[in-house]
Amino acid sequence: MKNLFLASVARNTLDIFVKSLKRPASKLKVAFIPTAGNLIVDNWFVLEDRKKLLELGFSVIDINLEGKIAKELSKEMIEIDIVFFAGGNTFYLLQEVRKSGFDKIVIEFVNQGGMYIGSSAGTLLAGPTIELAKDIDNQNEAPDLKSFDALSLIDFVILPHYDDEDFKEKIDQNLLKNKNHEYEIVTICDDQAVAVNDDSIKIVKSDTKELK
């Protein structure tokens, strides 16, 4: 059973995710992956997503992928219920996921029933490719990345931040260039997320959008 919650800005929609849970948030342990934001000096958005998880009652364990190997990460994932990929540079995130071997760990984790939450870059990572992050994120920050192939936990591409004035024009240009793309492309706004539960896929929206 696949259970994914793929948000544009996770803190804006996590309340919806919590309502869907069969157990209280206080009984669940989240592996929080901040790696995508590591190269950004003012990565306040990563801290805000983490803060929201704590406010909702989750137990949060920080797991940074840089310099880690799969054996170490497997140990850190013991007794984890949810993996949360925060936002930042999508190319850098995929590079570190691949280098550390965390890609295989996460795919197995999700396929065995573990829950996946993505915020921005973390949402793109869940799809089959991060190619559409071109012209949005700085590809040069991931010099060791050999392929845009992502985790393929879903078979379509989600582009976040469609209502953000800093991103919309770039996203529209990408959509135009990729109108015949091999994968379906779904855009979501900052108060939306794509909830995936096996064959059920729906876009959900928060009642009240938090200020940035």
pLDDT digits (tens, 9 = 90+) for 154-193: 999 999 999 988 888 888 888 888 888 889 999 999 999 9
Q: 8, 100, 119, 120: which is the annotated catalytic residue?
A: 120
Confidence at residue 161, expressed as pLDDT on a 0 to 100 scale? 94
pLDDT tens sequence across 14-58 = 999 999 999 999 999 999 999 999 998 899 999 999 999 999 999
Q: In the predicted model, what is the mean pLDDT of residues 129-135?
A: 92
The answer to whether 191 is a known catalytic residue is no
Confidence at residue 83, expressed as pLDDT on a 0 to 100 scale? 98
The answer to whether 120 is a known catalytic residue is yes
Q: 135, 147, 152, 172: which is the annotated catalytic residue?
A: 135
Q: In the predicted model, what is the mean pLDDT of residues 115-128?
A: 98
Q: 100, 103, 119, 161: which is the annotated catalytic residue?
A: 161
Domains in the chain (CATH in brackets) are: 3-205 (3.40.50.880)
Cα first-last separation, the chain: 34
Share of the chain above pLDDT 90, in %: 84
Share of the chain above pLDDT 70, in %: 97
Whole-structure pTM value: 0.94
For residues 129 and 157, give the distance between their C-alpha atoms in angstroms, rounded to a whole number.
7
Q: CA separation (Å) from 106 to 52, 118, 137, 144, 152?
A: 22, 12, 23, 20, 11
Q: Is the pLDDT confidence value at 208 over 70?
A: no
Confidence at residue 178, expressed as pLDDT on a 0 to 100 scale? 84
The answer to whether 8 is a known catalytic residue is no
Confidence at residue 60, expressed as pLDDT on a 0 to 100 scale? 98
